[in-house]
Structure 1
């Protein structure tokens, strides 16, 4: 794939970059450049270019603004102790975008082109990749695809734009890792059978926001959704997958189909097996959660995602009472330590997950 580069005429100064990297936050600052590809039925994918980061000019009739035909990914670039820069399982993100594209009636961006595009932007803006200094600062990467055709008919768009932008990100937990408190959404659901729950599309996140607002009003950090059919089975949080550690060492995670197949989730399943745990993917009810914690059968609960990596889960609040926090975090933190160690080059990578960019 051909990608041209037009360097920004007004890049941030080295002093400004250093200032931002010292306290990047999350999603607040963006690098000097962005990458764009376009697709039409006649030309296929074309027009690959890296240019100065800046606003987009969209016609009011641009299809994505009306029909939400959009997908995205979330991943990170990590600077290792020797100064090299790596990404974590980028081909898995690329494959998930292919699956999301099928569900959203988009053209397929080949895996190798996705990886090349992400690598090209990171290489162009490599000075924005933080030095972790023993922490977890990294460069967050946001590839996304949207219907850019100017057309108000309801059909798959015939002009599609794929872009990659990047934003330096600090550790998700400032001041140490703390269990998140959850709100149980008993009236609102995020996705149902045959829907878009397994696609990484903005509509799934929009569907979580009303429940998230409800939970925040109750003092909770995140919301947990139940299945849309019976309202009994745990699915996922607004932006993270769930795991339940049992006293015998078995780990259970809700099965996929209506939930997002997280890259971190898949990695934990493999990593937990490597650490000697039996991992089950199956339906898991809210009653099993409640009764398991009460009886001591469930000793730990944790959530995972790209931003937070792995976080312990505390209490679950609802209109009908509370599920107490599981007492432990030993398995949770062991998994977290090894996974973060692999990502930042501080631990061996026996799975071949890391991909060198620079």
Structure 2
């Protein structure tokens, strides 16, 4: 089997999967499940976090992640997921050592507060370092994997929310325009070559509600305008439909007496039957609203994948369940 496995939802050569989404849509959960799915069948995947929330560590029930690539999960079929919480200060020190050979001098700058100044005050510097580190992992060649060209078969980024994802990814274009020559310009241009190529797909996480769906549509339009490759729309926390489409109209206020009559032989009184009828009507109304949001998403022209609501909360077992859904929907690894 070769990795990464081809999918109906992204180009065969795609190796950087950027997952964004409005707050509350389960963006980090979806990113983690996608990393497990991509590692299935023997792949090696790096899951990176850029917001400093340690959400990945909480999902996998591990200690807070250091600025170090650490194995956190084994995928079905023997694959492996590594995780990295990218720290802008550490990334800048690494950058200074790599391109300017500062070494100890860079650490001295940190002691004097210059590193903190650069990552918090310099416009866009923090985002440049975060995207740059992720792209470095994508390009890194393999030294310990016979027969494999790259250190990681795929990199999954738990990225900032939809409202600022385009600016976050496009900041290297601005930096390349400001720096006329030298390593800064070369690095920024190299990062943008990865981000705008078929190696990258930006996936948008949403739920079937009006505001998140609208923000997803706006995000798709912004990404397209910036020349950034849009991947799949990942609809998270989809509830089970207990009413078929053709039967929803029958669940109405007029049906309450009929429901009461049907349930009376089973010891259900009128008040309880009425409450059940109300729940049924509300469920039917919600399903109708969700269907409307589905149609809106489908009109955007991107592949749509639905992930089920895990009612007890997402633990490690839940992540594997979601990963299996993603694998099945995308076509799965080659045998």
**TM-score of the superposition, structure 2-length normalised?**
0.23
Larger strand percent: 1
Higher helix share goes to which structure?
A: 2
Name which structure has the greater RCO, CA cutoff 8 Å, separation 6+: 2
- Give the TM-score taking structure 1 as reference length: 0.22
